[in-house]
Amino acid sequence: MAKHILSIRDFSAAEIVRFVRLTGDLKRGKAGRKMCLAGKSVALIFDKSSTRTRLAFDVACEKLGAHSITNSGANLQIGRGETLEDSGRIFSLYVDAVAWRTSGQDRLERFAHASRVPVINMLSDQEHPCQILADLFTIREKLGGSAWPSVAFIGDCGNNVAHSWLLAAARLGIDFRMACPRGHEPDPVIRKNAEEEAWRTGAKLMVTRDPKEASAGAGVLYTDVWVSMGQEGEKKKRLATFKGYQINSSLLSVAASGAMVMHCLPAHRGEEISAEVLDGHNSVVFDQAHNRLYNAMASLIWVLKGGKI
């Protein structure tokens, strides 16, 4: 059976740690990685705009010796009514892996269920596992050790990045706080799943309306855009709703000394984060972006070579 990366839930806690270690090995240029996917073909499908993800996977394929085939979903028969199941079978006849950036999580899961080759979730409306795996590596790279810092996610806690962070925190036993306006909490099913796992792992999960409560003593302050792709028509309303949830110097002052500031980008300076903090010495935002490349390399090796180089 093909090994997919569709959700953080596809990884055990031990596998997350191993994946993070693999990412570090790749970034440090561990011998044996070059061209280890020579002869492999990887289909990259983009139904949504992309900068970091597109660059990361294209360059990852080149560095590992694989051939990438990039398509827009609108240019494929999958965008003209061919069933997801049929498309999954067809892609399996031509390529060794598929990475897809799309809308519904169910689309990925139906496609992957029919596919005989691995499928990687480059982003769905529900989850963004590659981003969070790269974030976890960034934290480990900066802090070292084996303990995870407390993380405060400020803003829209019902988006894909927040969902994958919540699931990862529950699995790893992380103290994870979320601050959001009413109506922008995490999906109830994902929240229930995370809370049930937290009972087993000792993770502390909090959802509050108060960004200062969430940020108090936190080792990481994290945010994402308030107006995601497809929500542009709601911009005025959403900006008003999220007023007061900006990561700025005032919020940073209540976090732990030396707290890291993270953002998955693109950033809207002056909205969810102030320019002063985004460009400040606490920010590791562009290190995060750089590490998406090594995450993409690790993801391809994980599904195509069982994580071995």
% of the chain exceeding 90 in pLDDT: 89
| Overall average pLDDT of the 62-76 stretch | 91
Position 77 confidence tier, pLDDT thresholds 50, 70, 90: confident
Position 86 confidence tier, pLDDT thresholds 50, 70, 90: very high
Q: Which helix (H) or strand (E) holds 69?
A: strand 67-72
What is the model's pLDDT at position 79? Answer: 64
What is the model's pLDDT at position 308? Answer: 79
Q: Which residues are catalytic?
A: 101, 128, 131, 224, 264, 292
**The 151-154 sheet, strands edge to edge:** 204-208, 175-179, 151-154, 220-223, 260-263
What is the model's pLDDT at position 307? Answer: 80
| C-alpha to C-alpha distance for 133 and 136, rounded to whole angstroms | 5
| Residue 140, CA atoms < 13 Å, CB-side half-sphere | 21
Let me know how long the chain is.
309
Q: Output the CA–CA distances (angstroms, integers) from residue 32 to 24, 28, 35, 46, in the order listed.
A: 14, 12, 8, 30
Residue-range domain boundaries for the chain? 8-128+292-305, 131-288
What is the model's pLDDT at position 33? Answer: 64
Domain 8-128+292-305 identical in fold to domain 131-288: yes
| Overall average pLDDT of the 174-203 stretch | 98
pTM of the model as a whole: 0.96
pLDDT at 32 over 60: no
| C-alpha to C-alpha distance for 179 and 13, rounded to whole angstroms | 25
What is the model's pLDDT at position 10? Answer: 97
Class of domain 8-128+292-305: alpha beta
Q: Which helix (H) or strand (E) holds 177?
A: strand 175-179
Q: Give CATH superfamily name and number for 131-288.
A: Aspartate/ornithine carbamoyltransferase (3.40.50.1370)
% of the chain exceeding 70 in pLDDT: 98
What is the model's pLDDT at position 67? Answer: 97
| Overall average pLDDT of the 128-143 stretch | 98
pLDDT at 235 over 90: no
What is the model's pLDDT at position 257? Answer: 97
pLDDT at 74 over 80: no
